[in-house]
Structure 1
Amino acid sequence: MQASCKKVAILQSNYIPWKGYFDLIHDVDLFIFYDDVQYTHSDWRHRNKLMTRDGPRWLTIPAGHDLKRLICEVEIPDQSWKQQHRSIIEQNYRNAPFIEESQPLLDFLYANTITSLSDYNQRAIRHLSNILGIHTQFADSRLLGVNGRKTERLIGILESVGATKYISGPSARDYIDEPMFVEAGIELVYKEYPAYPPYRQCFSPFSPFVTILDLLMNAGPEAPHYIWGWRQNEYQA
């Protein structure tokens, strides 16, 4: 992995993320889940949005309000949320073109007994990436044995996997110590999410900021086109 790895992203796992999350995964050679950091409530870690007749609606895993935990320490012993979420999804997407083809995916997401939020999210993201045809490698920061704080630890993780380029989420501009990347000889690039092209959703007006399930239900195998395929010339340049 060290010899071939060049572009790397490091990010917390999210619940059934939006398409931009998978665009970032698609951009890199190695995507590292960063779940041994503090859990934040009312965040993407345990919730996301889906389209409904009344517009985008939160779909939330009942993970509790305790902030004295790392993301990887969050447990959800009550499993009833899984059937509830599946029922809500199936009801709202019952007229979607690819609802029937999506049943195996819903089985994968909701017919399991996983109680760890981190394990659940990571497993789902890997599977969804495979469905989208993404060939990026995955790793978990917990298994890399790198300590330190903030930017120091990020660089330590990147050095441990032989990264030469770090692609960061745009919000990280507020806390990343950019000179440390220069000193380490690692190129720092902030991901800029484009205005993704619209597709036909079950309800209008169109909203791009919803779970990837919305795109898969409505576009099926054409889903990658609406994330990166539409700008294929950019990748070939």
Structure 2
Amino acid sequence: MTRVAIVQSNYIPWKGYFDLIAAVDQFILYDEMQFTRRDWRNRNLIKTPQGTQWLTVPVKVKGKYTQTIRETEIQDPSWAEAHWKTLCANYARAPHFREVSAVLEPLYREHYDNISDVNRRFIETICDYLGIGTTIFNSWDYSLAEGKSERLADLCRQAGATTYISGPAAREYLDETVFADLGIAVEWFDYGGYPTYPQLWGEFVHGVSIVDLLFNSGANAPEAMKYVQRKPA
């Protein structure tokens, strides 16, 4: 049995994104899709003493958003230093700040041309820290069929999938019969039921970037997740 998920890349995604990666055998970053403004592709939330705050990577947007995520270039390279300073200012008191900084800070010192490069680099590094061994591919590693459901199903076929794991939002448009015709089952991922973990700055918030969990929990982060297994000591 081969389980596959196909999702657009996000900037420092929340814990559920990494649980989905951990729940499958192959994870395809679907960055041939159109870039969407004010979405998770180039921004995410962290916690601060004043509440949640967006960290946004500035990107170049051409025309009426006809470009793909893959084609979306970085506008201002100074974003990385600004983001790292913001993370330091808000998480320096977190129990595992020093340990996790050693993993994340080098990423903010690298050069990136586009948002897909940023996202994949951060996602792979965080997966490695969490011990997630899922193979990650780009959508352009495959040929792309026409049609929303048809393209996803054909990507699964090319990846040798027996099961496609989808986020619940796709229920509105996904045609499961297209997958069934290829002998591929569809399962819906459940993002509910997460436990809390020790978190700075007031009332607990689930939907923030994974960096919040990492700074606060370090190697214990899998205890607040559902599919990530804690690495042996």
Shorter-normalised TM-score: what interval?
over 0.9
1:169 aligns with 2:167: yes
TM-score by length of 1: 0.92
| Equivalent-residue separation in structure 2 for 1:142 and 1:218 (angstroms) | 36
Q: Secondary structure at the match of 1:151?
A: helix
How many Å separate the matches in 1 of 2:128 and 2:111? 21
Alignment of 1:11-160 (within 5 A): 11-66=7-62, 67-160=65-158
Alignment CA distance shift 1:69-1:230 (3 Å) = closer
* 2:199 counterpart of 1:181: no
**RMSD in angstroms over aligned alpha carbons?**
1.6
1:46–1:229 distance in 2 versus 1, CA, 3 Å: closer
**2:58–2:75 contact (8 Å) kept in structure 1:** no
Partner Cα distance (1:186, 1:25) in 2: 19
Counterpart amino acid of residue 32 in structure 2: D
Offset from partner CA, 1:95-114 (integer Å, 9 cap, x none) = 00011112222223200111
What secondary structure does 2:52 align onto? strand
For structure 2, list consecutive stretches of 5 or more residues without a partner in the other structure: none
What is the Cα deviation at residue 147 of structure 1?
A: 2.5
Say which SS state the counterpart of residue 40 (structure 2) adopts.
coil
Q: Percent of counterpart pairs with the same letter?
A: 43
Shift of 1:158: 0.6
| Deviation string, structure 1 residues 82-104 (Cα, Å, up to 9, x no partner) | 00000000000010001111222
User: Residue 204 of structure 1 aligns with which residue?
Assistant: 202
- Flag structure 1 segments of 5+ consecutive residues without an equivalent: 233-237
Q: Shift of residue 161 of structure 1?
A: 1.2
3-state DSSP of counterpart to 1:128: helix
Q: What is the alpha-carbon distance in structure 2 between the residues aligned to residue 41 and residue 33 of structure 1?
A: 18
Letter in 1 for 2:29: F
Kept in 1: contact 2:132–2:228 (CA 8 A): no
- CA distance 1:134–1:226, change in 2 (3 Å): same
Match of 1:218 among 207, 216, 227: 216
Shift of 1:17: 0.2
Alpha-carbon deviation of 1:195? 2.1
